[in-house]
């Protein structure tokens, strides 16, 4: 094993193709897959995993394909994986990366993106061999597969709902919201029925094609919105101030020119930050006042990519996994991305030079046999 591993993150679809060829009936395909692994080993390239990759590989609908993939993963001579923040042995996911970046800020005194990346990179990756990670344990992998399938359903729901704006208010500025006439409470039910109907239509037109619960999702969302509206009204006073308090967004963190969508992002970041901070070692108490949204580079890149992705005509649950994996471009020698995410990332590189300066190599490739050439230097 080399002292300095070369970390390369392959797309899960590519790993699936290599696995298919590795066990395939045609000798030429089998030879190509085996040559691919041997070439990576010769170059000191570690095939790298996160929990997202493993989930995507194991949630295939054909159980035999899943077994073949696990058997293939055991054959990989050099692997690396994102080390969980708690240092458990299984590959970690996006929360572990964000927690390490937050740790670098609150416990490591990192003052900017470059210092955060330099602090996190040396301890982010664990290395080993495929047979040690992907042990033969049918019960264990069955449980992981079930959780991966459940998570995939959650992702299709989240991506589909996030693509909607049935009230057409996400781009409305707070200064304009305060000028809106107050809707009489007796009109709420009729308004929310229209809201749910429009939301259902938007999900069906723009959501994940595999999501088959658009009506239920829209009605549930409208019901939850009704509960929130009642709670905010019962608080009394200025409705905008009550809205901020309801979502735990400090008034000093917003301006009249901010949109409802931006305020929503702040609320989500506040909740996410609280969860991350309480699980640090030692835990800390922080808020969006002292850890703003632009503090952690991985979170910043996620937001930039998501803001581009959400404008797509049709979204997919797998988009969330792509966005979560993409920030590893700060920490890897190479990362393979699909066509859309690569285009989005190129746009961020052009628009955000400070972020771009931190990024390693990203690439697309429809022919996995050509990937080793990128690292033959």
Residue spans of the domains in the chain: they are 6-156+317-375, 159-278
Q: What is the pLDDT of residue 85?
A: 97
CA distances 310 to 3, 161, 319, Å, are 41, 11, 9
What phi, psi does 7 have (nearest 5°)?
-90, 115
Q: What is the pLDDT of residue 210?
A: 94
pLDDT tens for each residue of the chain, 377 residues long: 445 789 999 999 999 999 999 999 999 999 999 999 999 999 999 999 999 999 999 999 999 999 999 999 999 999 999 999 999 989 999 999 999 999 999 999 899 999 999 999 999 999 999 999 999 999 999 999 999 999 999 999 999 999 999 989 999 999 998 888 888 989 999 999 999 999 999 999 999 999 999 999 999 999 999 999 889 888 888 888 888 988 889 888 999 999 999 999 999 999 999 999 999 999 999 999 999 999 999 999 999 999 998 888 999 988 888 999 999 999 999 999 999 999 999 999 999 999 999 999 999 999 999 999 999 87
Model pTM score: 0.93
Q: What is the pLDDT of residue 43?
A: 95
Q: Which residues, 6+ apart, have CB-to-CB distance to 176 below 8 Å?
A: none
Q: What is the pLDDT of residue 242?
A: 86
Please list the residues that pair with 173 across neighbouring strands: 259
Which secondary structure element, helix H or strand E, spans residue 49, and what is its range?
Answer: strand 45-49
Q: What is the pLDDT of residue 173?
A: 93
End-to-end CA distance of the chain: 18
What is the distance between the alpha carbons of residues 147 and 143, in angstroms, rounded to a whole number?
Answer: 6
Four-CA torsion 305, 364, 322, 319, nearest 10 degrees:
80
Q: What is the pLDDT of residue 2?
A: 46
Place of tokens 């937050």: 102
H-helix segments, the chain = 12-22, 27-42, 51-58, 63-75, 94-106, 113-124, 130-133, 138-162, 174-177, 188-206, 214-235, 239-246, 260-278, 297-309, 318-325, 339-351, 353-356
Q: What is the pLDDT of residue 3?
A: 53
Q: What is the CA radius of gyration of the chain?
A: 23
Q: What is the pLDDT of residue 152?
A: 94
């Amino acid at each position: 094993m080399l002292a300095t591993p070369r970390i390369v993150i392959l797309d899960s679809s590519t790993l699936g193709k290599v696995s298919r060829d590795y066990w395939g009936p045609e000798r030429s395909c089998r030879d190509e897959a085996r040559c691919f692994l041997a070439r990576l080993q010769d170059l000191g390239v570690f095939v790298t995993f996160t929990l997202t990759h493993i989930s995507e590989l194991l949630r295939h609908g054909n159980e035999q394909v899943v077994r073949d993939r696990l058997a293939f993963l055991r054959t990989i001579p050099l692997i690396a994986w994102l080390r969980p923040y708690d240092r458990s042995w299984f590959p970690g996911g996006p929360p572990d990366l964000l927690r390490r970046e937050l740790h670098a800020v609150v416990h490591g005194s990192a003052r900017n993106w470059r210092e955060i990346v330099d602090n996190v990179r040396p301890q982010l990756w664990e290395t080993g061999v495929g047979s040690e990670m992907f042990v033969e344990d049918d019960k264990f992998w069955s449980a992981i597969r079930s959780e991966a399938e459940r998570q995939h359903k959650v992702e299709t729901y989240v991506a589909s709902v996030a693509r909607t704006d049935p009230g057409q208010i996400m781009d409305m500025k707070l200064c304009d919201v305060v000028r809106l006439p107050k809707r009489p409470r007796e009109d709420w039910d009729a308004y929310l029925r229209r809201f749910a109907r429009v939301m259902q239509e938007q999900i069906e037109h723009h959501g994940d094609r595999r999501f088959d619960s658009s009506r239920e999702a829209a009605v549930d969302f409208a019901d939850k919105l009704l509960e929130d509206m009642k709670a905010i009204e019962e608080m009394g006073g200025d409705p905008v101030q009550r809205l901020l308090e309801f979502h735990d967004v400090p008034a000093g963190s917003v301006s009249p020119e901010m949109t409802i969508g931006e305020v929503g992002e702040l609320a989500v970041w506040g909740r996410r930050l609280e969860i991350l901070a309480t699980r640090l070692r030692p835990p800390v108490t922080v808020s969006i006042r002292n850890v703003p949204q632009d503090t952690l580079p991985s979170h910043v890149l996620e937001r930039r990519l998501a803001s581009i992705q959400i404008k797509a005509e049709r979204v997919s649950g797998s988009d969330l996994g792509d966005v979560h994996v993409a920030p590893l471009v700060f920490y890897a020698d190479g990362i393979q991305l699909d066509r859309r995410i690569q285009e989005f990332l190129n746009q961020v590189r052009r628009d955000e030079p400070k972020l771009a300066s931190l990024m390693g190599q990203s690439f697309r490739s429809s022919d996995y046999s050509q990937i080793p050439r990128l690292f033959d230097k």
